[in-house]
Structure 1
Amino acid sequence: MKNKSILISGLLALTVSFAAAAPVAAQDVASLHPAYATTMDLTSIPVGHAEFCERRPYDCQPMAPTAPVSLTDALWAELQDVNNHYNTTITAMSDQDLYGVPEFWTLPTSGYGDCEDISLAKRAALIERGWSPANLLISVVMQPNGEGHAVLMVRTDRGDLVLDNQEGLIKIWTDTPYTFLKRQSQAHAGQWVDILDGRDNVVTATAAY
């Protein structure tokens, strides 16, 4: 409860900072405020996601542009519920141990899955609850130890929030320990864009990504 209060206070502070800034068009806020990740040009699709799209092309279609989610108390509770459910019911296990291959993205139906699978499950659950797919973007990051990882980035009016199977608390992307490399395009679920993360110098990423 204490952590929830701290996060909500931080999110409210971001809203105040938006209001205090010089007037800009609503669609420009996300590109100007550091609570939102800056994206660049189209980039390579993670191998596992490309194969996932071949198996499930209906999950990798163009998406209509949409404003960030207006994060009401009810939607905030919904986000927490989905994040907690999959973090506690899916046991983390590598693709090599599960499927005998280095990389295999899929929805976790057996109670086991890796970070990509859990992120896909959270995304699918939120879409089923009526959230716009264009605001639910699988993102590839680099951990402090140099290993690759995947999280779900949710675009809201309080900033880009991160749902992470390694962290129970939902955080703004800049408050995570990761270097963000790329994410799904907001315009097409089967395309990816680079993320400009100026906090760290990215030298390399895991080959699977």
Structure 2
Amino acid sequence: MLVLACCVCSQPAYSSLELQEVVPPLSFMLFCTQYPDDCQEQRDRRKTVFRSRGQRWRELNLINSTVNSGIAPESLSVSRNDYDWQIFPSAGNCGDYAVTKRHLLLRSGWPSSSLLLGEVTIRTTGEHHLVLLVREGRALFVLDNLSGIIIQLNEALDNYVFLRTESDLNPRLWTRGLTRS
């Protein structure tokens, strides 16, 4: 019993258990069938145009606000199908917002390894929700249709419990919890 306790207690806070591969959401698998290019690994093409950190931050904010204002919000109960994510529909749910932001950033040259979809539970309501995680340098930011501002991950952890996220190693794989690399 003591040996078992030592093994369990000696695991780091973010152990390999948290990075365990899990089945992607059904919505994601259907999305990849409809939009296969958005589910392929894409390299960083931003370096070839020498964009500054400030330019990248402005681009993130512009895409976040454009998508948040360009799609009319629909609750999951009203939306066409909560599992049918689409790029830039006229009205949609959290999945539509997240994949549209990811799509636009991929087209702008961001690498797929920096743009991770994340399924979360909202702490206050218990509702399942989809957000986009964006890695910029060492920082990780959350783009959410429920917020007009981009927030850092450590602030988002007060609002969300991360259930599973897209892997930064392969856009078609998902991991339990939050990817840490």
Class of the TM-score when normalised by the shorter of the 2 chains: 0.7 to 0.9
Residue identity matched to 1:142: T
Q: CA deviation at 1:94?
A: 3.4
Q: Which runs of 5+ in 2 are unaligned?
A: 1-11, 45-50
How does the TM-score come out when normalised to structure 1? 0.67
> Within 2, Cα distance between the matches of 1:122 and 1:39?
26
> Within 2, Cα distance between the matches of 1:72 and 1:134?
17
2:22 paired with 1:43? yes
**2:162 corresponds to which of 166, 176, 180:** 180
Q: Which stretch shows the higher mean deviation, 138-147 or 49-58?
A: 49-58
**1:156 corresponds to which of 112, 136, 147:** 136
Q: CA deviation at 1:96?
A: 4.7
Q: CA deviation at 1:54?
A: 2.1
Q: Is the 8 A contact 2:67 2:97 kept in 1?
A: yes
> Within 1, Cα distance between the matches of 2:22 and 2:154?
22
Q: Is the 8 A contact 1:90 1:113 kept in 2?
A: yes
Provide the aligned length of Structure 1 versus Structure 2: 157
Q: What is the 5 A alignment of 1:94-105?
A: 94=75, 96-99=77-80, 101-105=81-85
2:173 paired with 1:195? no
User: Once superposed, what is the RMSD of the aligned Cα atoms?
Assistant: 2.7
> Within 2, Cα distance between the matches of 1:74 and 1:49?
30
Structure 1 equivalent of residue 35 of structure 2: 56
Q: What is the 5 A alignment of 1:1-209?
A: 40-62=19-41, 72-94=53-75, 96-99=77-80, 101-109=81-89, 111-144=90-123, 145-176=125-156, 177-196=159-178
How does the TM-score come out when normalised to structure 2? 0.77
> Within 2, Cα distance between the matches of 1:76 and 1:102?
30
Report which structure shows greater RCO (CA 8 Å, sep ≥6).
1
Q: Is the 8 A contact 1:96 1:103 kept in 2?
A: no
> Within 1, Cα distance between the matches of 2:160 and 2:77?
24
Structure 1 residue runs of 4 or more that deviate by more than 3 Å after TM superposition: 62-65
Q: Which runs of 5+ in 1 are unaligned?
A: 1-31, 198-209
User: Percent identity, aligned pairs only?
Assistant: 29
